[in-house]
Amino acid sequence: MDNSLKDKVLGSIDIVDVIGERVTLTRKGKDFTGLCPFHPDHKPSLAVSPTKRIFKCWSCGAGGDVIRFVELYERVDFRAALASLAKRAGIELRSSPVDRRAAEMREQIMAAIAWARQHFQRNLLSTPPGQQALDYALGRGLTRETIERHGLGFAPDAWNDLLTVARRAGLRDDVLRSAGLVTNNERGDTYDRFRHRLIFPIADAQGRPIAFGGRTLGDDPAKYLNSPETVLFSKSRVLYAFDLARRAIEEQNAVIVVEGYLDAVLLHQYGFTHAIATLGTALTDAHAKLLTPRAARIYLCFDGDQAGIKAADRAVAVALRTQAEVRVVLLDGGQDPADCVVAGGTPAFQAFLNKAIDALEFKWRQTLRSFGQGGQAARRAAVEAYLRFVAGATSTGGVDPLQQNLLVGRLSDLLGVPSDSVFELLVAAKRSLPRESGNETAEFGGVSTYQSTTAALPAGLTTAMETVLGLLLSGADCWSLVDDCVARTAEYSQTWKRLYDVLLEAHADMGEYSIGEIVARCEDGALLELADRARARIGAVTSPVAEFAAARDRLASELSVLRAQGLHEHVRTSGGEDEEAFRSLRENATAQDWLIPPESRWNQAPASA
């Protein structure tokens, strides 16, 4: 998509209209102001200029044109934001044949999922076999109005119910497979993925169905089953009922996070319309980033059994990396939220919300309990274990300096330990953390997680590798230029290697991909930071192939220098007696010389005639 198309879209869209649909704006002279949707804002920090066609938050720093606003607000990549605005403006997008094929397949998958949602709903509400599922839903306390509002459905106990009807409707098997609606056995036979289950449609932030979850109605050991990862759906980045809860979350500046679909649906029915559910996975950093711009307070309300307590424990680790106030709701007697609200109604669940405890205090209670009654020695061990947990939780993704100081102050009050001692203990705890993939550590108050993995590398190598990764991220047709040099460079940083592996896997699985599809596979802060840096590194590249070739050549040069430095050191320490090392050093020097342009090989000025 070229700049002329971008300019055409920007010239056709009123930024005030777009932002005003999502934020209440007030005119202030020539401009408009409103509450920023990208951080918990209590006074109008967002400014929108219709003449300059830009927005800017003077508190959190978010800003840019209307495309950037849609990217941030809808959590989509540049291409998707531009496409959305172009469609709004009635502008036809020009794209390559590959892009058009991918877009067509994506549209067919969305159409298949929308069709399947209607099919499952008909099964539940209009067929005799669906009565069992309907009775189960009503028996759990759901009303028919709630069932219809949330679009619940039913998949019968049959191997090809959906498949047979879908084929009659003209839907191809490959589209159904890509949508996660059918699968194949070892013999290659195609059959329905969802069988004998109450179906919960999963929608994106705009309310479009993108996947399904199913609760077994039989004795299947897999109590809940989700759609597989697709081009539309990644469970680590999607929250159930977020589309329905979004307005209430923003109005109440709070969100309730539960584990199950049924928990979320029943909470909505009883008036807690700001409830959402994770999809069979722990709360992730991506989930937190989706919630924190809209909610200053996050309630974690998981089942009261041991599994629920562990889930809350994992969620606390993620929550520590946000700027939101996080509180843990503890239910009695192993109850889940659905049981609680059905048995006691709205007042009972509200009472538990009112008694929710701070996430840090929750974790401290859990830690103290695990160390038992061992006097001062046990308390000291509990403090050290607790601070190791906090250090590990904040090492991935990191916290900014203001958050860090606030966190130290809160820990000091909670533990009864002076702030200076808390800081020193956190530094020691961070230094003791294992440097494992996905958990690279930086000193408390030091560089970011990703930067800590590249701090000792030459700046030229880092710049070139980030450029290479940025070009591969962009989906540019550069894979034919990838050689062993790129793979060898990736080995110098765990984070480089992990992102490169993600890209390789996506290229093998999909061929063409979007930045959003790659980011969906990045599970932690270090990978997301690298992806952002790599994307920013390439900017508006006009000739990606030429840029990639230049960056790859720079990698070769930098690797040659690194190898020469290693050989120099080896020859020096061996006293010059290692002939093999000396020969390798000479060959490396010759190869390096050819990498440098002739006019730059000598520092001295040419001899005068």
How would you class 297 by CB atoms within 10 Å of its CB: exposed for 0-12, middle for 13-18, buried for 19 or more? middle
- Tell me how many helices (H) and strands (E) the chain has: 26, 16
Q: Is the pLDDT of residue 191 over 90?
A: yes
HSE-CB of 564 using CA atoms within 13 angstroms: 14
Neighbours of 412 (CB within 10 A): 16
pLDDT at position 120: 98
d(CA 102, CA 99): 5
Residue among 258, 116, 247, 248 at smallest CA distance from 194: 116
Q: Quick one: tokens of 203? A: 């929608």
pLDDT averaged over every residue in the chain? 80
| CATH topology match: 3-89 vs 97-226 | no
Q: Which residues contact 25 (CB under 8 A, 6 or more apart)?
A: 16, 19, 32, 33, 34, 48
Lowest mean pLDDT among 184-188, 387-391, 516-520, 537-541: 516-520
Q: Is the pLDDT of residue 609 over 60?
A: no
Tell me the three state secondary structure of residue 160.
Answer: coil
DSSP conformational letter for 226: E
Average pLDDT over residues 495-501: 88
Amino acid at the residue 350: Q
CATH of domain 3-89: 3.90.580.10
Fold of 97-226: DNA primase DNAg catalytic core, N-terminal domain (3.90.980)
Instruction: Provide the β-strand partners of residue 201.
Output: 212
pLDDT at position 520: 61
d(CA 172, CA 499): 34
pLDDT in tens, 193-224: 999 999 999 998 778 899 999 999 998 888 88
46 phi/psi in degrees, rounded to 5: -95, 130
Q: Is the pLDDT of residue 122 over 50?
A: yes
Q: Where are the beta strands (DSSP E) in 340-434?
A: 357-358
Domain range annotation of the chain: 3-89, 97-226, 242-363, 374-446, 453-595
Q: Is the whole-model pTM more than 0.75?
A: no
Q: Where are the alpha helices (DSSP H) in 433-577?
A: 449-454, 459-473, 484-490, 494-510, 515-519, 525-538, 544-573
Q: Is the pLDDT of residue 379 over 90?
A: no
Lowest mean pLDDT among 113-127, 344-358, 417-431: 417-431
d(CA 245, CA 494): 38
d(CA 84, CA 67): 9
198 phi/psi in degrees, rounded to 5: -80, 125
pLDDT at position 557: 82
Residue among 329, 359, 178 at smallest CA distance from 267: 329
Instruction: Provide the β-strand partners of residue 209.
Output: 203
pLDDT in tens, 449-468: 677 677 777 877 888 899 89
How would you class 162 by CB atoms within 10 Å of its CB: exposed for 0-12, middle for 13-18, buried for 19 or more? buried
Residue 579's pLDDT band, with cuts at 50, 70 and 90, is low
Q: Where are the beta strands (DSSP E) in 217-323?
A: 224-226, 254-258, 275-277, 297-300
pLDDT at position 517: 67
Fold of 242-363: Dna Topoisomerase Vi A Subunit; Chain: A, domain 2 (3.40.1360)
pLDDT in tens, 38-76: 887 778 889 998 878 899 998 888 889 999 999 888 888
pLDDT at position 206: 75
Q: Is the pLDDT of residue 516 over 50?
A: yes
Q: Computed over its alpha carbons, how large is the radius of gyration of the chain?
A: 28
Instruction: Provide the β-strand partners of residue 48.
Output: 32, 55
Q: Is the pLDDT of residue 345 over 90?
A: yes
Q: Among 219-233, 367-381, 444-458, 538-552, name the most confident range.
A: 219-233
Q: Quick one: tokens of 313? A: 């424990």
pLDDT at position 374: 64
DSSP conformational letter for 240: B
Residue among 237, 246, 259 at smallest CA distance from 314: 259
- CATH of 453-595 among 3.30.70, 1.10.760, 1.10.860, 3.30.450: 1.10.860
Percent of the chain with pLDDT over 90: 29
Instruction: Provide the β-strand partners of residue 256.
Output: 275, 299
Average pLDDT over residues 465-477: 83
HSE-CB of 587 using CA atoms within 13 angstroms: 6
